[in-house]
Amino acid sequence: MAKTKLDPEEQELLEAYESGEFESDLDADRREYLAKAAEQTFKKDKRINIRISSRDLEALQRRALEEGLPYQSLVSSVLHKYVSGGLKDISANKSGQRTR
């Protein structure tokens, strides 16, 4: 995979991090809480089957290839972002209709 090109500010932050200039201020309880939340977020314990058009599947596979990850992971990520409010359906408000 190609190395990401960083702008000067990002490069400065990376160098500061790598040299140990940053220290975590999380206490043990907060660290444990965040670790459990992360574990639950990435836990994949259910399987679904869906039917989509071959055109959409090919587009998903192309996009996943561009991102450097399996297309199933991309689909899972998009679904997670949508249900957690990270993605919004912009077409729902284009016609002036209200969403519930």
Q: Which residues contact 86 (CB under 8 A, 6 or more apart)?
A: 80
Tens-place pLDDT, residues 52-77:
999 999 999 999 999 888 999 899 88
Higher pLDDT, 93 or 96: 93
| Greater model confidence, 6 or 54 | 54
Average confidence (pLDDT) over 7-26: 88
pLDDT in tens, 27-39: 899 889 888 888 8
d(CA 18, CA 10): 12
**Residue 99 pLDDT level (bands cut at 50, 70, 90):** low
**pLDDT score for 36:** 85
Select from 71, 81, 72 the least CA-distant residue to 48. 72
**Residue bearing tokens 């912009």:** 90
- Among the listed ranges 1-15, 32-46, 53-67, 86-100, which one has the minimum average pLDDT value? 86-100
